[in-house]
Amino acid sequence: MARKPLLAGNWKMNLNHLEAITLVEGLAAELRDSNFDYDTADVVVIPPFTDIRSVQTVVESEDLRIAYGAQDISVHESGAYTGEVSAEMLSKLGVTYVVVGHSERREYHQESDALVGEKARVALKAGMTPIICCGEGLDVRKAGEHVSHVLKQIEGALEGIPASDVVKSVIAYEPIWAIGTGEVATPEDAQEVCEAIRKRVAELYDQATADALRVLYGGSVKSSNAAQIMSKPDVDGALVGGASLKADEFAKIVNFEG
């Protein structure tokens, strides 16, 4: 079954709201100049919370057909949760994607698979698409346990999520040893794990759910390697960190230009 590729740029804790405006305006110009065909891929930018309102303004004023997302979400609806941002606050700003369980949040904020799953459910309930991240560290990869490690993360995160919501979700396989290191997984490495994720989803749910689910690769993706990785049958796009901070480079990635 044909799945539309998804290219998502995770800005992490980079760019203030003025720099965000410059980047999205630059991306709009690049997409226009390259005659980007919006039917070929979905494009999402994922800025820090403080930039979202500015990104919304540029997207609307430029009539840009890209989506924008958030890098995290609170599991709480409202109230005394200092520093947290609710699903309602995000969807009110037109946010349609939410990254949950990025390895940096798992590591620095001790986020468990259960919490990641809860965040995914909260995003889905508010009509947003969770991008559920998973991935192994170098020690796990060296021990040859990367597939079982990732499948355990996915099983934990998907617990309690019905098939009707899984098809609306996105999974991003991001080996930690490849994030921000310049060390990209080979297309075969990415395919091995993305295929295993899809097979496990078919076992947990059914084949139609697995066939509809988009599974991305993330980890040092840039224009010179993106097309090769995304040519693999179970890799439906990329979650891009550093290379999404430059409009021309991200535009090349979404245009599948090497």
Residue whose structure tokens are 């930690």 = 176
DSSP conformation class of 205 = S
Q: Is 30 a catalytic residue?
A: no
8-37 residues in contact with ligand PEP (CB under 6 A) are 10, 12
Report the C-alpha gap between 47 and 17 in whole angstroms: 9
Q: Does 177 show up as a binding residue in the annotation?
A: no
| String of contacts with ligand PEP for each residue 227-246, x by CB under 6 A | ------------xxxxx---
Q: Does 180 show up as a binding residue in the annotation?
A: yes
Q: Which residue is nearest to ligand PEP (CB)?
A: 241
* Contact between 157 and ligand PEP per CB under 6 A: no
Number of residues that bind ligand PEP (CB under 6 A): 14
Q: Does 168 show up as a binding residue in the annotation?
A: no
Report the C-alpha gap between 40 and 212 in whole angstroms: 16
Q: Does 219 show up as a binding residue in the annotation?
A: no
Q: Is 102 a catalytic residue?
A: yes
Residue whose structure tokens are 């609170």 = 74
Q: Which of 104, 111, 174, 249 is catalytic?
A: 174
The span of 16-24, 33-41, 156-164, 217-225 binding ligand PEP (CB under 6 A) equals 217-225
Query: What angle (nearest 5°) sits at the alpha carbon of residue 103, between those of residues 126 and 197?
Result: 75
DSSP codes of every residue in 56-121: HHHHHHTT---EEEES---SSSSSS-TT---HHHHHHTT--EEEES-HHHHHHS---HHHHHHHHH
Catalytic residues: 102, 174
- Chain residues in the site for ligand PEP (CB under 6 A): 10, 12, 174, 179-180, 218-221, 239-243
Residue ranges at the known binding site = 10-12, 180, 220, 241-242
